[in-house]
Structure 1
Amino acid sequence: MRKIKLTRANKSILLKALGDYYYRQRAMNTGWRETGYLILKVDSLPVDKKAVFTSEEVCLARDAVNQLRNKKIKQEQYTDATDDMLLKLN
């Protein structure tokens, strides 16, 4: 179990990343339920409070945010906010 404090910006980035990841998984019909549950969990969390995540949830979130970061880099829309979120997940 890991405690992570989410700011409003980090929560928004995480939800965006998980949403993209979820729809990709849904299209391939693999592992989308776990991502859906994590989206619901993150969405219900209050901002600026520490939340407890399992190691599997952290790994899933890290993968999703990293994919969003790579997508933004390819589109030349890179921001430091994705790196900040990745640092919280490491």
Structure 2
Amino acid sequence: MTPERVHPNYVTIWVWLLVLMVAGVLATRLPLGKSAINNLIFAIAAVKAVLVALNYMHLRSESWLIYALAIVPVLLVVALTLVLFPDIVFHH
């Protein structure tokens, strides 16, 4: 017999996504620098992406290979960003 998969409470996840969306929009009103606001908005977007991937894409119940397939492109993007950062910042 196959084990029963537990489905998340989709309404609760949806409410969290709405709250995080509002938090991202309201973050632009904070008295912070542009880079701090951008970092905050990107952090909120990352949390929303994890919520969607784990709950709506059902990655929570998948094997480790699926996680490896999802993490490798993210690591490549981070590595390329770090490698290209000096060219982007110090262009003349």
TM-score, normalization: structure 2? 0.39
TM-score of the pair, normalised by structure 1 = 0.40
Higher normalized helix content (fraction of residues): 2
Higher-RCO chain (CA-CA 8 Å, sequence separation at least 6): 1
Query: Which one has a bigger Cα radius of gyration?
Result: 2
Bigger fraction of residues in strand = 1
